[in-house]
Amino acid sequence: MVRATMQDIQKMHDILKRHGAKYDPDGKVIKGTWRRGAGKEFSETFGKTRATMYNWLEAEPKRPVREAPKRKRIPKYVETFRDSETVKDFIEKRVGKTHNTEYVTIGLIAWRILGKKDPISWVEEDYEILWNHPDFRDEMMGTISFHKACALRAWMKHCGRRDLQDIFTTDELKRPKGAKKTHWLKSEYEIESVINNIEYPDTLIMFFIGIQCGSRFSSIKLTKPSDISYATNQINMYETKTKDYVERDFPTESLELLKKYIYDFNFKTNQKIFPRKLTMINDDLKQAGLKAGISFTLTSHVAMKHTFVSLASNRGVSLEVVSQQTGTDPTTLKDFYAGLDRRKIRHELMGEEYSEPTYHEVIVAINQTVRNRYQVIKEHLRAIDGLAKKDGRKTEKLPKPRKPRAVNWKAVEAMIKSEKTPPHLKKAWRARLKLHRQGLSDAEIKERMQK
């Protein structure tokens, strides 16, 4: 019999429940009460036969009880901050107001920056420190973030320092429309540089798919092999923001590479082909961007949506088509995404030469770069249940240098006075304590005692 984890048993019972399985008063499944199709879904999910399902049911007929998630422990410094009367009053007065939680969190960060000084005693010099602190800075505007500035002004108002609101204003802190237009990969060379520095196959394929459709990460993340139609060259993606499906078109060459990726890493029909989290994908893209010499922080949103919209717009793709492919309103695309190439502007207004390949030609050229990089990455990885893991070779880890622990001499004195301490330990620690009182360091005492 194939062994199964409790997680596998839980999944099996979930499948049976979806197919109408009934349970007796003792919580055991009644055989034969589920509809046809349960065995097929079990086989697709686990890659095992129906006989295995019946073996598992014989061993575990009861549905496992899901454990309640453990409550997250609140750090002590957060409790200290929230115990302040000023903070309690601030939280109480802001109940039901917008950005309530965010403003409290920003207050907590400010409190730590100022050395845990109570907000009621913050003065102009303190707010000056916060106004120019890197943690509150908007890199694009070069000033404090508008949202954090509003939060600090709310704390000023609450603490009775309205006079400071005239000094610390939010004028000219808002990002103008189109402020994001410079944050996209502007050329075929930059895109290929990023591709050649990506280290994981799922990040590589997601990036390549993303710059062809401009979809959100949440939408691409949900893609399964069953969503892909190789006959029509389309992927049916679900947009979590709009709660609607969008059919996106791709060149044949791109879907052939995607098909190879699915086969190489053994993804099942109903399994997500990009299993890793947003933070992991963003970390990969950030590192690839740094190695490629990109001047701004590369994230999935910037790398995929901004790049697709701006690149496609500059290479002759109509805004109507771009809007259809991304699932975003044309007005929003104009205001926040479609950054025009200065060379194109100068070509149309001043007649300067501007001869760039079409969008399709760019994608076809990049396709070969992606294939080459994919082959390099795949040589160092192996497929295990649809997940990419490093190959079996173990790398030798260097031992971490250990810092010597400082001796707690107050505890030593208490131990010597204690009646429970054995006589031989008392004698040894009295000798050490005597040397400590003579002004010797812990290391010198250790060396002296070893002699």
Q: How many whole angstroms separate alpha carbon 16 and alpha carbon 51? A: 15
Spatial neighbors of 107 by CB under 8 A, at least 6 apart, are 81, 87, 90, 119, 151, 155
| 22: helix, strand or coil | coil
Contact 291, 197 (CB under 8 A): yes
* pLDDT (mean) for 123-129: 92
Six-digit token string for 40: 């097929």
Q: How many whole angstroms separate alpha carbon 77 and alpha carbon 109? A: 11
Of 95, 66, 317, give the one whose Cα is nearest residue 214.
317
Sign of torsion, CA 113 116 120 126? negative
- What per-residue confidence (pLDDT) applies to 107? 92
Question: What percent of the chain has pLDDT above 70?
Answer: 83
* pLDDT (mean) for 16-21: 87
The alpha carbons of the chain give a radius of gyration, in whole angstroms, of 31
Six-digit token string for 210: 């993303």
- What per-residue confidence (pLDDT) applies to 384? 44
Where are the domains positioned within the chain? 6-59, 76-165, 188-390, 409-450
Query: Does the structure show a pLDDT above 90 at 125?
Result: yes
* pLDDT (mean) for 314-339: 70
Span of 59-73, 249-263, 356-370 with lowest mean pLDDT = 59-73
| Burial of residue 320, with CB atoms counted within 10 A of its CB: 0-12 exposed, 13-18 middle, 19 or more buried | exposed
Give the model confidence (pLDDT) of 163-193 as tens digits.
998 889 888 777 655 444 456 676 788 888 8
Query: Does the structure show a pLDDT above 50 at 272?
Result: yes
Query: Does the structure show a pLDDT above 50 at 385?
Result: no
Where residue 317 falls among pLDDT bands split at 50, 70, 90? confident
* 134-168: b (≥16 Cβ within 10 Å) or e: eebebeeeebbbebbbbbbbbbbebbebeebeeeb
Six-digit token string for 383: 């497929």
Give the model confidence (pLDDT) of 387-436 as tens digits.
555 444 444 555 666 667 788 888 889 988 888 888 888 888 899 888 88
Query: Does the structure show a pLDDT above 80 at 320?
Result: no
Q: Which CATH class is domain 188-390?
A: mainly alpha
- What per-residue confidence (pLDDT) applies to 307? 81
Query: Does the structure show a pLDDT above 50 at 118?
Result: yes
* pLDDT (mean) for 343-365: 70
